[in-house]
Structure 1
Amino acid sequence: MLAAWLCCFPLGAGAQSTRATVLLDGRVLFVVGDAAGQPARARARAIEERLGALLEAPSRQRSVSVLPASSPPGSYLVTVAGRPIVTVGIEDAEDAGLPARDLARQWAGIIERALARGAERRASAGSRFVTEVQSSIETAFARLLESAVVVIPRALAAILVLFAFWMLARLVRWTMRRVFRQFLSDLTAENLIKQVGYYAVWALGLMVAAGAFGIEPEDVATGLGLTSIALGFALKDILSNFVSGLLILILRPFQLGDQIIIGETEGSVERIELRATLIRTYDGRVVSVPNAETFTSRVTNNTASPVRRAALRIYMDYDTELPRCCAVLLEAAATVDEVLPEPAPAVRVLQFEKDAVVLELRFWTDSRRSDFVATASRVRLAAIDQLRAAGIPLPSPTLSVELVPPASAKPAARGG
C-alpha cells in the first residue's frame, strides 16, 4: 500500500533527471537531455527501442546518416537505413559544448559501431540467446545505478532536512516550555500550544524534505487528493484520535493532574497527547487511552470540584438509641481535621435490614483520592472509638443453636 501511495506523488521538475543515458546491450552509448517537451528518460527509452528494433531486423544494411532536420531549426537527424533514430537539437549541442552537426556525427559513429557490435554478437542462435540474457542483466544493473545516482543524494538530503527540523521542533518545544512556565500557569493550555507548535514545525519539515527529494508541493496536494479516500480508510483511527486530541485540549473536559474514570480505567491525567491520553493508575501503572475513546466515552472527573462528599455505612442493633448514636457519629466526624465544617456532616437512617438498622454518615473532604481515602479511614476509626466510649454496643454476628430433643423411643413390648 505504501508503494502505491508513493506512486501517486510524481516527481517534480527538480526531481526528474534532466539527463538520461542511452544503452544498447547494457553498454552506455551517449547521454541525452530533455527535448521538445519530452523528458530525457522517455527520450532515451525511445532511442533504445528503435536501436533494438534494428538489431532484430534480419537485414544487414544498417548505414548511418546525418541529415538536417526539418524542425526544430538548427537541429540534425541521425538515421539508420532511412529510419530516424535521434534528433540532435540545439540544447544537446549546448550541453555537449559542440556544434549540433558535429555532435550528430559523433553520435552517428557511436550508433554505427554499437549496431555492428550488436549484430556480431547475434551471429548465431546460441550467441543471440546468451547476448539477450547478458544484455538484460547488464541493462537492469545500469538502470539501477542510474536511478541510485539520482535518488540516493536526494534521499540523503531529505533525511538531513528531517533531522534538522526534528532538532528544531525539539528546540521550539523546549523554548515554549521555558517561556510559558514564566507567564502561563495553565498546564493544559501550555500542553496544547507546545504540541501544536511541535507538529507545525514537523509539517513544515516534511514539506521541505519533499522539496529536497524533488517532490513539488502541488504534486503532494495532487497525490493527497488522489489518495484521500484510501488514506481516509487507512488512517481513520489515527485521524480520529488526532482530531479528538485537539478537541480535548481545546474544550478541556479535564486537565493535567485531574483524577478521572474512563471505562474501567481510573487514575490521574499525566499527559494529553494528540493521539492518546496517558493516565497513571493508583497502583503506579500508566494506561494509554486513545483520544477517540476518551472523547466519546463517559468520563467521570473526581477532582473537577476541590471538595467531594463521602458516605460511610454503620450497622446498629434495633435496641440502640438512634438519636444518641447519630449525635456520637457527628461528634466523631467533627474530631477529624480533614472533614470540612461546611457543608456540615450529616447522619441519615438509610434502611432497615433483618438484623440491623443501617445508618449513613455523610461528610465533605478534599476531592483528591489520597486525601479522600485517608480521611474516610480516619472517620471510621473515630466513629468506632466514640461509639465504644459512649457505651453504644457495636453489632456483632451471633450464632444461635437450637437443640431439638430426640423423638421418644417406643417402649419395648413385654411378654406375659
Structure 2
Amino acid sequence: LSLFAVVGLGLLTVWGTELRGLLVGAGFLGIVVGLAARQTLGSMLAGFVLMFSRPFTIGDWVRVGDQDGIVTDITIFNTRLENFDGEFVVIPNDKVSNQAIINRSQKGLLRLRVDVGIDYADDPDHAKQVALEAISDLPEVVNAPPPQVFPKSFGDSAVVMEMRFWIDHPTPPRKWKAVSAVVTSVKEAFEAEGIKIPFPQQELSGRAETGGFRVQDVTESTAEPVEPREQD
C-alpha cells in the first residue's frame, strides 16, 4: 500500500497536479474518519465488556443513567430498553458503560417504601402494629424479609411513618400493584381502628394588644367640620 501511495503521488507530481490542497483535504478526511472510527470502536469494545461482565440480561428491569425500562436487546454496539410508555430507547454501549446501572431484577427481590402520616393525637406504636398487620396479610408482599414500619419524621400536620416491604420477581406492574394494595389496606385498617390520616393544615393564633395606639377611620358624615382660619 505504501508503494502504491508513493507511486500515485509521483504520478500526480509529474502530471502537474497541485498536491497541497489534496493533502489538506486528505488530512481533514482522515480526522473525520478517525473520530467516527473512535466512537464506533469505543461502542464495540464497551459491548464486549458488557457481554463478559453481564451487569444485566434481556428481560431485566434496569435503570441506565436517566433511562428506566426493560432490556429487550443487547448488541455489540448498543443496548435497547423498552420504557413504561411503550417507547424503545437505544443507548450506545460506550454511554452504558460510563453511567451508573441499577438492576432491579438481578436479586429477585425489591424493597419498596411508602410514607403515611398519622395524627399527633394518635399512638405511633399502635399505628405501627396496625400497619404491619395490614401489610403482612397481602399476597403481593413477601414476608421474608419481613415488612417494617417505623416513625420517620415530624410533618407539618402529622407524624410521618415509613412502611418498607419487599416484592419478589420485581417488574413495574408488580411494583405498582403492591404499592396500591398496601395503600388501600393500611387506609382501611386505620379507619377501622380510628387512626386518623390528617389533611395538611395550618394553625393560626393571635395575641392581645399590649400597647400602642389604634388608628380609626373617620367617615365624611361623622367627621367634625373644621373652621377656616383667617390669614394674618
Checking the alignment, whether the CA contact within 8 Å between 1:313 and 1:359 is kept in structure 2 is yes
The CA distance in 2 between the partners of 1:399 and 1:233, in whole Å, is 61
Are the aligned partners of 2:156 and 2:201 in contact in 1 as well (CA < 8 Å)? no
Q: Which residue is equivalent to 2:96?
A: 294
Map of 1:365 onto structure 2: 167
How many Å separate the matches in 1 of 2:155 and 2:47? 49
Look up the match of 1:242: 44
Residue deviations 1:85-124, cap 9 Å, x none?
xxxxxxxxxxxxxxxxxxxxxxxxxxxxxxxxxxxxxxxx
Structure 1 residues 385 and 241, CA gap change in structure 2 (3 angstroms): same
**Superposition pairs for residues 253-402 of structure 1, below 5 Å?**
253-366=55-168, 367-398=170-201
Report the count of equivalent residues.
193
Q: Structure 1 counterpart of 2:52, which letter?
A: I
Q: Return the alpha-carbon distance in structure 2 between the equivalents of residues 401 and 360 of structure 1.
A: 29
Once the two structures are TM-superposed, the CA of residue 413 in structure 1 deviates from its matched residue by: 9.2
Q: Deviations over 1:97-153 (max 9, x none)?
A: xxxxxxxxxxxxxxxxxxxxxxxxxxxxxxxxxxxxxxxxxxxxxxxxxxxxxxxxx
Quote the offset at 1:243 in angstroms. 1.1
Please tell me whether the aligned partners of residues 118 and 159 of structure 2 are also in contact (alpha carbons under 8 angstroms). Answer: yes
Distance 1:284 1:413 in 2: 75
- Which one has the largest radius of gyration? 1
**AA matched with 2:162:** E
1:180 is matched with which residue? none
CA contact (8 A) 1:246 1:274 kept: yes
Distance 2:156 2:202 in 1: 15
Alignment partners' CA distance in 2, 1:249 and 1:343: 32
TM-score (norm 2): 0.73
Contact 1:335 1:382 (8 Å CA) reproduced: no
Does structure 2 retain, via aligned residues, the 8 Å contact 1:314–1:358?
A: yes
Of all paired residues, the percent bearing the same amino acid is: 26
Deviations 1:248-273 (A, max 9, x none): 11211111111111111110110001
Taking the aligned partners of 1:249 and 1:335, their CA distance within structure 2 comes to: 41
| Distance of 1:318 and 1:402 partners within structure 2 | 19
Q: CA deviation at 1:234?
A: 3.5
Give the whole-Å Cα distance in 2 for the aligned partners of 1:9 and 1:235.
25
1:378 aligned counterpart, secondary structure: helix
- Output aligned runs, 1:110-149, within 5 Å: none
- Within 5 Å, which residues of 2 pair with 1:222-237? 232-237=34-39
Aligned residues of 1:345 and 1:364 also touching (Cα < 8 A): yes
SS of 1:392's equivalent in the other structure is coil
Q: Deviation at 1:231? A: 5.3
Give how far 1:408 is off. 8.2
Which SS does the other structure have where 2:196 is aligned?
coil
Q: Per the alignment, in what secondary structure is the counterpart of residue 132 of structure 2?
A: helix
How far is 1:354 from its partner? 3.2
TM norm structure 1: 0.42
In 2: Cα distance, 1:329 partner to 1:272 partner: 42
Aligned equivalents of 2:77, 2:184: Cα separation in 1 = 45
Distance 1:413 1:267, change over 3 A: closer
Contact 1:328 1:387 in 2 (8 A): yes
Specify the SS of the correspondent of 1:354: coil
Output the amino acid matched with 1:330: L
Matches of 1:346 and 1:322 in 2, distance apart? 14
1:35-114 paired onto structure 2 within 5 Å: none
Unaligned 5+ residue runs, structure 1? 1-6, 11-41, 43-226
Q: Distance in 2 between matches of 1:287 and 1:306?
A: 24
CA shift in 2, pair 1:275/1:390, >3 Å: same
Name the CA distance, whole Å, in 2 between partners of 1:252 and 1:384.
42
Aligned equivalents of 2:43, 2:143: Cα separation in 1: 44
Structure 1 residue 346 displacement after superposition: 1.1
Alignment root-mean-square deviation, CA = 3.3
More helix, by proportion: 1
User: 1: CA distance between counterparts of 2:43 and 2:88?
Assistant: 18
Work out which structure has the larger RCO, using CA pairs closer than 8 Å and 6 or more positions apart in sequence: 2
SS of corresponding position for 1:235: helix
Q: Assess if the C-alpha contact under 8 Å between 1:262 and 1:299 holds in 2.
A: yes
Could you tell me how far apart the structure 2 residues matched to 1:321 and 1:307 are?
32
